[in-house]
C-alpha cells in the first residue's frame, strides 16, 4: 500500500501549525510561524506548495524510526520462518511489548500504538483542520496494563502524548469517519509488516496525505534498510527525495534499476515508407 501511495504522489507539540484552510487551499494564518522554525524541520522546498506537509511528514517518520529502533533493542526477537508464511501466535510475543489481535492472528506491538499516537498528535498540532486515519485503536491498550505502560513510555520519550488520556485519545483519533468531498486526510500504517519488525527483518512506516481521495504527499520509512537512505518522501508533481534517519535535508542517492527494468528500448514504430 505504501508503494502505491508513492507512485500516486510522484505521478500526479514539536511542529508549528502550518495547516491550510479548506477554502481555496490558503495557508492557515499561523503558517507564518513555520518560517521562523524552518531550520528544525527537514528541508523540503523541492515539494513546492506541499513543502510544509512534506517536511512535517518526514520529521515525524524520522521520530517513528528512532522509536522502533529503541523498542527493538528490548524485544525478544522471534526466529523468522524462511518462507515468510508463519502465522504468529501467543508463543511468539513478549509480554507487555506485543500481543496477537483477536480474530486475525496478526501481531501488534507497543511501537504500533506509540507511533500512531505520536504521528496523530504531531499532525493534529500542525494541521488541526485535517482528519487522521490510522490502522490501530486503543481497545487493547485499555485492557493490557503492561502494554499501555510501555506504549506511554515510548510516546513520552519520542515526543508523543505524555499522559494516558492523551495517549488513548491520540490512538483513537484514527477512528474518525470520513468527512466527505474535499477533505484532507492523513493515512498511517504505523508498522507495515509487524511480523518483520518482530523478527528483525524488513518493515515499513507508511504515511500519506490525501486530498479529496488523491495522494499528494507520501512518506515511507524503512528502518532496517542497509543499502539506501531509509526514508523516501514524495510530493505530487515534484518527484521523490531520499532522507537519512536524522538528516535535515535530502541526500543524493541514485538507486540501481532492478533486472526487470533493464530491458532494451522498444523498437521504433514503422513508417509509411517501410
Q: Which residues are catalytic?
A: 112, 194
DSSP letters, 126-164, are H-TTSEEEES--SHHHHH-HHHHHHHHHHHHHTTS--SH
H or E element in which residue 67 lies? helix 51-74
Q: How many CA atoms lie within 13 A of 258 on its CB side?
A: 1
Residue 238: closest CA among 206, 222, 216: 216
Distance CA 194, CA 266 (A): 41
Q: Which of 130-152 are b and which e, b meaning 16 or more Cβ less than 10 Å from the residue's Cβ?
A: bbbbbbbbbebbeebeebbebbb
Question: Coil, helix or strand for 204?
Answer: strand
H or E element in which residue 245 lies? none
Distances (CA, A) of 82 to 108, 180, 196: 21, 44, 11
Distance CA 84, CA 104 (A): 17
Amino acid at each position: 500500500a505504501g508503494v502505491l501511495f508513492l507512485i500516486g504522489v510522484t505521478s500526479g507539540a514539536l511542529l508549528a501549525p502550518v495547516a491550510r484552510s479548506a477554502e481555496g487551499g490558503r495557508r492557515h494564518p499561523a503558517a507564518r510561524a513555520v518560517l521562523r522554525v524552518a531550520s528544525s524541520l527537514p528541508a523540503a522546498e523541492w515539494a513546492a506548495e506541499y513543502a510544509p506537509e512534506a517536511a512535517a511528514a518526514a520529521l515525524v517518520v524520522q521520530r517513528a524510526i528512532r522509536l522502533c529502533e529503541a523498542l527493538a533493542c528490548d524485544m525478544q526477537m522471534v526466529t523468522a520462518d524462511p518462507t515468510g508464511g508463519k502465522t504468529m501466535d501467543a508463543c511468539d510475543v513478549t509480554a507487555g511489548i506485543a500481543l496477537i489481535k483477536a480474530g486475525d492472528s496478526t501481531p501488534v506491538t507497543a511501537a504500533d500504538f506509540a507511533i500512531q499516537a505520536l504521528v496523530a498528535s504531531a499532525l493534529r498540532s500542525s494541521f488541526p483542520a485535517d482528519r487522521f486515519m490510522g490502522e490501530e485503536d486503543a481497545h487493547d491498550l485499555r485492557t493490557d496494563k503492561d502494554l499501555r505502560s510501555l506504549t506511554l513510555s515510548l510516546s513520552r520519550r519520542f515526543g508523543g502524548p505524555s499522559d494516558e488520556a492523551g495517549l488513548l485519545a491520540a490512538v483513537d483519533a484514527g477512528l474518525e469517519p470520513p468527512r466527505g468531498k474535499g477533505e484532507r486526510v492523513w493515512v498511517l500504517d504505523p508498522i507495515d509488516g509487524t511480523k518483520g519488525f518482530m523478527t528483525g527483518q524488513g518493515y515499513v512506516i507508511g504515511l500519506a496525505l490525501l486530498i479529496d481521495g488523491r495522494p499528494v504527499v507520501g512518506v515511507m520509512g524503512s528502518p532496517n534498510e542497509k543499502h539506501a537512505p531509509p526514508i523516501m518522501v514524495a510530493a505530487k508533481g515534484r518527484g521523490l527525495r531520499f532522507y537519512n534517519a536524522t538528516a535535515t535535508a535530502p541526500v543524493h542517492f541514485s538507486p540501481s534499476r532492478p533486472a526487470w527494468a533493464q530491458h532494451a528500448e522498444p523498437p521504433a514504430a514503422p513508417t509509411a515508407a517501410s
